[in-house]
Chains A and B, each alone.
Chain A
């Protein structure tokens, strides 16, 4: 589509109100979804609830391939398909719903930077835990990822995904940043966000999505969750968001990840 046509279409999209049948697509909840996807999906759901936009959640085995960018979750609104939190925020802004209008320029710049940081660190950490740790990969990630497919396709797809993620991790040289550092940063701006941002923003939705998923997945070794729990402001933050936006729905993330030992290199 030419640039002019696309601009026209997005203008048209902006003019339409948010429909009732907007749907969010994610992988199958019981058998397939992994920690990172679950966290991203929860972040988007939190954000939409914060904006007061209704959305239904649909689970598909091929959600990852349906998405235009290859990442879950994505929302189907009217006849537009938008994936990942960043573009979804822009999309809702075009429709007139925005949480960050009250911020001044500097704060908005900081918020955007921190969103990138969370994506960079937390999401990468989750991917690392899932795919680069051999025990986790073979006991949890690969079986879950390949559960909708039949032999031998399930093995092929699981190994392909694992190889891709490992290649990316090697390229960006991850594994050096410690979890401690990550949590400290989380705590630092959680305090600052309470001070500077008077109403919750998309950054809070993103952080909540990731933290809540990590906290509520049952792990054999609870070190990851314990470290987060040691920062009480983060805990109260999570509780606050859950109570404000999810009181009507029991947020049971029924995902059980049994991580035998915490990743030694972290």
Chain B
């Protein structure tokens, strides 16, 4: 067996070999090129040799982290899925990869990490459940900030704020990009004929999470589902190259309902609200008494009457 290259990537769920776009890209490429990789599916990015996922650990050159660099390294090791492509097709690959990065990736980041409902219901809960204690408290939040920074960088706008306007622009670009990909794919099995190449890996890596991860706010998903050839393309690759992952799916509890869960937690919600209001009131009262703003005097009713009488007598003088 060739010197084993080790690949560290995020664990999979929802029928995917990995839930992260970049990991999926690298996994798909390695399958297409037939590279024998020892795959470690982990949930703690700090355990990877470079601190980020995906990471390729080689014997000679240390660890490599970005997907493009990993693919270049695999090519150098003679695992090249693009061997048969012509110069024009090579140029096309670069062009479409640029298109994906510029138009589709920002929307993916937005829908998974910035859109509040999606982030809270799906992304954060998945990471919180799957990352080990105690990292699961702060790591999802940190990742969200990193993703927002990445979004700002790609859009070139350091003042970017999430909002309806931004969402509209990003989704519009993404929908157009998906339509273009669909047009380019046409009715072929893969983008350049019958054998998959690196472009297929990139497209798969970007589209598969969108297809499989069920998000409450799923405009992009709906559009993708309407593009049959892209949907078949992804399912095809999953079936052909990642057959075992279909069965690992069931461990995930799908968030089924929108209204149901709200209704279930309502008695808790109400109870929490009342408790917190009581607590705040009690704290304020305690503070007021302790600092003397409010003082409670215990006066016997008898003595109170006597005091009153004395005051009346004095006035009469």
Contacts and interface: CB of A to CB of B under 8 A. Distances in A.
Contacts, number: 69
Contact of A188 (B91, B98, B157, B176): B91
B231 interface: no
B51 interface: no
Interface string B253-269: 00000000000000000
A113 B95 contact: yes
Given A108-B183, A109-B184, A117 B156 contact: no
Contacts of A105: 183-184
Interface in A160-175: 164, 167-168, 171-173
Contacts of A188: 87-88, 90-91
A116 B102 contact: yes
Q: How would you classify the secondary structure of chain B's contact residues: helix, strand, loop or mixed?
A: helix
B246 interface: no
B99 interface: yes
B168 A117 contact: no
A192 B95 CA distance: 14
Q: How large is the interface on B (under 10, 10 to 19, 20 to 34, 35 or more residues)?
A: 20 to 34
B92 A113 contact: yes
Interface string A51-69: 0000000000000000001
A168 B183 contact: no
Given A109-B180, A110-B184, A114-B95, A173 B156 contact: no
A114 B164 CA distance: 29
Given A106-B183, A188-B88, A113 B99 contact: yes
Contact of A185 (B91, B96, B181): B91
Contact of A120 (B102, B150, B153, B181): B102
Interface string B152-189: 01001110000010001000000010001101101000
Nearest to A86: B173
Interface in A170-189: 171-173, 184-185, 188-189
A116 B99 contact: yes
B294 interface: no
A29 interface: no
Interface in B18-72: 66
Q: How would you classify the secondary structure of chain A's contact residues: helix, strand, loop or mixed?
A: helix
Contacts of B156: 69-71, 168
Interface in A133-174: 164, 167-168, 171-173
A119 interface: yes
B274 to A, nearest CB: 38
A106 B150 CA distance: 30
Nearest to B168: A3
Contacts of B176: 112
B253 to A, nearest CB: 35
B191 to A, nearest CB: 11
B285 interface: no
A184 B91 CA distance: 9
A109 B158 CA distance: 30
Contacts of B88: 188-189, 192
Interface in B89-136: 90-92, 94-96, 98-99, 101-103
Interface string B137-158: 0000000000000100100111
Nearest to A121: B98
Interface string B185-211: 010000000000000000000000000
Given A117-B98, A119-B102, A188-B91, A109 B157 contact: no
29 contacts: A3-B164, A69-B156, A70-B157, A105-B184, A109-B181, A109-B183, A110-B95, A112-B180, A113-B95, A113-B180, A113-B184, A114-B91, A114-B95, A116-B103, A117-B91, A117-B94, A117-B95, A119-B102, A120-B98, A121-B98, A168-B153, A171-B153, A185-B91, A185-B94, A188-B87, A188-B88, A188-B91, A189-B88, A189-B91
Given A69-B156, A70-B156, 11 more contacts: A3-B168, A70-B157, A108-B183, A110-B92, A113-B92, A113-B96, A113-B98, A117-B95, A168-B156, A184-B87, A192-B91
